A = this chain, B = another copy of it.
Amino acid sequence: MDNHDLVALSERRQHQVDGVLTAFFRESHYRAKALGTPYATLWETLERNATGGKRFRPRMVMAAYEALGGEEPERAAYVGAAFELLHTALIVHDDVIDRDFMRRGGLNVSGSYRDIATTAGIPLPVAEHRGMSVAIIAGDLALFNAYRLIDRSGVEGALRTRLHDILDEAMFVSAAGELLDVDFALRQRPPSVDEVVEMERLKTAGYSFEGPLRAGAVLALASAEAEEALAGFGRNIGIAYQIVDDLLGVFGDERDTGKTTVGDLREGKSTVLFAHAVGTPEWAEVSDWFGSPELSVEQAQRIREVLEAAGSRRFAEALARDFANRAWESLTSEALPDAVREEFRPVVASVLGRVR
């Protein structure tokens, strides 16, 4: 399969998933209009927030499904769309928890409604609370509809129950990770590297990689061995991906990633980088700046230099490589056909390529 095929295939999958989500939002919008214009507008805002991403989770479901011989990709598109809706709900609520009003360079739900309120002359703290209130409602709506998209795929009986179980576990685990993250932000002692890895595994990797891959395998009626091998791949590549994401959040090129490289430092985000650095003597110089909302561009640059000098950048890169290699090892399982390795080799390569 050459690169051109890979892209073409991916576009076809994206198109199928978009079809499912577009139909869902069209129908919801129609229902909402009957209950008033403001409610219809909320659904439009939610749809905008659900469609800006890369459809990463649906693509995982569909890639696993098709590589394992599944022949009805439209079914996989419904299951993928369910994970996408879960993802939308979780990030909308995560932004409320983090008091973020932006996402992917634009306004998120909280931000849109905050700005409507400030434009109407409402004072900022009240407007912010209003934005967050509407975002809680919007996230609830996305969350409540995820299972229903699986049902729309037409799967029945034991298979349907298994897919629901997988979606349930994905959300259950993510909530545990979100709770850990909230706890990190409050306690005196900074989290250890292991604790950060565990938090990232729970909060993001589970529902973004392991869950979608497992769902794709189950829908393709793959063997239990194949499902477990793919799930093992998902667990490890998910952590690797998250560590790389944290590295790019500090050392990345803003033109490539589309996100600022001071945000995580100003937020004092609990990452592997920070968990490693905090135990080194070099860190003392910048520890007061880390997590300061007023952090200057020069101070951020100095933190980057300290993270290099303390070996934290190298450490995080090595850890990401280690998890990516473990992920690849899972893929070499005899239970998996070559098509699976072909499908996911580029994912491993992309992670490794970014930390070399």
> Least Cβ distance of A239 to chain B in Å?
16
12 A-B pairs whose Cβ atoms sit less than 8 Å apart in the complex: A28-B172, A35-B173, A38-B179, A93-B140, A120-B186, A130-B185, A137-B178, A140-B140, A140-B171, A141-B175, A143-B143, A144-B171
Residues of A with Cβ closer than 8 Å to B? Answer: 28, 31-32, 35-36, 38-39, 42, 89, 93, 96-97, 99, 117, 120, 122, 126, 129-130, 133-134, 136-137, 139-141, 143-148, 151, 161, 164, 168, 171-173, 175-176, 178-180, 182-183, 185-186, 202
**In this complex, what residue of B is CB-closest to A39?**
B176
Given A93-B140, A176-B36, CB of A182 within 8 Å of CB of B133: yes
Q: CA separation between A89 and B137, bound complex, in Å? A: 11
Q: CA separation between A147 and B164, bound complex, in Å? A: 10
A176 contacts B32, C-beta separation under 8 Å = yes
Query: Which of A126, A147, A151, A185 is packed against the most chain B CB atoms within 10 Å?
Result: A147
Given A31-B172, A176-B39, CB of A186 within 8 Å of CB of B126: yes
Given A39-B176, A97-B136, CB of A144 within 8 Å of CB of B168: yes
B151 contacts A164, C-beta separation under 8 Å = yes
Interfacial chain B residues near A173, Cβ < 8 Å: 35
> Least Cβ distance of A18 to chain B in Å?
22
> Least Cβ distance of A158 to chain B in Å?
11
Interfacial chain B residues near A137, Cβ < 8 Å: 93, 97, 175, 178-179, 182
Given A130-B182, A143-B144, CB of A93 within 8 Å of CB of B136: yes
The answer, among B39, B93, B168, for a CB contact under 8 Å with A179, is B39
Interfacial chain B residues near A35, Cβ < 8 Å: 173, 176, 202
Interfacial chain B residues near A179, Cβ < 8 Å: 38-39, 42, 134, 137
The answer, among B96, B134, B141, B180, for a CB contact under 8 Å with A136, is B96
Q: CA separation between A38 and B99, bound complex, in Å? A: 23
Interfacial chain B residues near A186, Cβ < 8 Å: 117, 120, 122, 126, 130
Interfacial chain B residues near A99, Cβ < 8 Å: 129
**In this complex, what residue of B is CB-closest to A121?**
B188
B141 contacts A172, C-beta separation under 8 Å = yes
Interfacial chain B residues near A126, Cβ < 8 Å: 186
